[in-house]
Structure 1
Amino acid sequence: MEALDPRRSIQFATSPRHLAGGGDPRHITQALRAAGWKNLSDPDYPHVVHAFLDDRTPRHLLAGFTTALAATAPVQRPMASVPHPHLVTQERSGPQGEALAEAHEQRLIAARAAARKARRGAAVQTQRTPAPTAAPAIARRR
């Protein structure tokens, strides 16, 4: 799917969201990269995201995923990118053009700042943790 430039497309609030299609995957991959994630996928498909959840997935990630999946709020989609147009309702709403692009850029800036703050916090925590000392040898009597 060719990504649409948000400055040149009109966005519509589309519902139900489970029939709205995947949308522009750059909204996910750009935010993940801004937060410090690395793209280890096939370089020919840099904007594809696959998620695998299992019993080792942290609970907060499971909660966030299921909350987003069950949300009833409409999602923003251009008119031409909906796979089942006869099954969804679309209403023009939300920021458009430059305002939409600026809102996305602000989300990326916030993600970068949060990632920097988390990395600094982890570095400080690592520096504060004292190195373990060797336990004193216990003399044994025979």
Structure 2
Amino acid sequence: MKKEWAGWGPAGQQAQQHYLIEPRHLAGGGDLRHVTEFLRASGWTDRSSKAGLPVVFDSPDRTVRIGYDPHSQPGGWTIRGNATGRQEAWHATLGKQVPVEIVAGFTDALTRPRSAHAPNVWQPLQHHGWRTEQGQHVTAVSPDGNAVVQFHQDGQGQAYWWAAAQTEHGPAWSAVFTPTTPMHLVQAFTTALSDPQPVMRPRGHVPPTQRIRTTSVSVLPSQLSAWQQARVSAARAATWARNSWASTRPRKTATGPYATAGGARSRR
């Protein structure tokens, strides 16, 4: 099946063949810029090498570091959070074949304020038809049976979150989160993992497996650029809004609770 996508590009552009792939957990790694450009637009500091690899980004408050190194063993994404206040130090690793759209579910959440709602790691999975199994470990299995999320507890009392996907050729990727990883981040990961929307890959980057469904689409370069720019612009706008709010909110003073009763309270 092939679709022609109407786009914003000028006449005369050469359309390129891409593929929409589902389920997304078997789509392959994808373009790192889907993750890194969002981080950069969100005010994170790029500390990557001049050659671009390994990738290293630090959060604005320097409490979280995200790295990507395809050449280390086993290779892939490493995210570390320092201990802060009541939050213990935490660590997550995601293999290099974890689709960037799923990685971004986790890393995008690091750039946003935490929701006031109590997180539920299993809810997004159950909502999209994943089967939950109770036993020594709590496990959720994708509708196609090729991906799993598990809260794993061993005999020594060690616990961690684990996710993985496989094809007919064997393991495709795995991801591990320490039990101290903030639950809203793990929920962001499972939300992106279970999203039924397909993801796009260019010709030549479709994984060699019979367990995916593909739809061929013709895409103009300007379309790809516009979609990528929309994501970056959204990150910049959210960052500007947070910074603007933080700079204009009233500051607390050391004086008594009624000291400002007659003072000016306007904001600029």
TM-score, with length taken from structure 1 = 0.72
1:27 to 34, 39, 51: 34
Identify the residue that residue 109 of structure 1 maps to in structure 2: 233
- Return closer, same or farther for 1:63/1:27 CA change in 2, 3 Å cut-off: same
Q: Deviations over 1:84-119 (max 9, x none)?
A: 244322102485421121121122112111111111
Q: Deviations over 1:47-90 (max 9, x none)?
A: 53533244444333222111001222211111311232443221
The alignment's C-alpha RMSD in Å is 2.7
Identify the residue that residue 129 of structure 1 maps to in structure 2: 251
Larger Rg: 1
Identify the residue that residue 140 of structure 1 maps to in structure 2: none
Q: Structure with the greater relative contact order (CA < 8 A, sep ≥ 6): 1 or 2?
A: 1
Q: What letter is aligned with 1:71?
A: D
- Return closer, same or farther for 1:115/1:87 CA change in 2, 3 Å cut-off: same
Greater alpha carbon shift after TM alignment, 8-17 vs 108-117: 8-17
Identify the residue that residue 205 of structure 2 maps to in structure 1: 81
Query: Does the CA-based 8 Å contact 2:18-2:200 persist in structure 1?
Result: yes
Greater alpha carbon shift after TM alignment, 35-44 vs 52-61: 52-61
Identify the residue that residue 99 of structure 1 maps to in structure 2: 223
Whether 1:120 and 2:244 are equivalent positions in the alignment is: yes
Question: Matched residue pairs, number?
Answer: 126
Q: What letter is aligned with 2:192?
A: A
What is the rounded CA distance, in whole Å, between the counterparts of 1:86 and 1:42 in structure 2? 37
Whether 1:17 and 2:24 are equivalent positions in the alignment is: yes
Q: What letter is aligned with 2:29?
A: G
Identify the residue that residue 183 of structure 2 maps to in structure 1: 59
- Aligned-pair identity (%): 34
- Return closer, same or farther for 1:94/1:75 CA change in 2, 3 Å cut-off: farther
Matched residue of 2:45: which SS? coil
Identify the residue that residue 37 of structure 1 maps to in structure 2: 44
Please identify which structure carries the higher helix content. Answer: 1
TM-score, with length taken from structure 2 = 0.41
Q: What letter is aligned with 1:130?
A: K
- Return closer, same or farther for 1:29/1:42 CA change in 2, 3 Å cut-off: same
What is the rounded CA distance, in whole Å, between the counterparts of 1:74 and 1:14 in structure 2? 5
Question: Unmatched 5+ residue regions in structure 1?
Answer: 1-6, 135-142
Question: Unmatched 5+ residue regions in structure 2?
Answer: 1-13, 56-67, 69-76, 80-91, 93-176, 257-268
1:132, distance to aligned residue in structure 2 (A): 3.2
Greater alpha carbon shift after TM alignment, 83-92 vs 14-23: 83-92
Please identify which structure carries the higher strand content. Answer: 2
Q: Which segments of structure 1 move beyond 6 Å, counting only runs of 4 or more? A: none
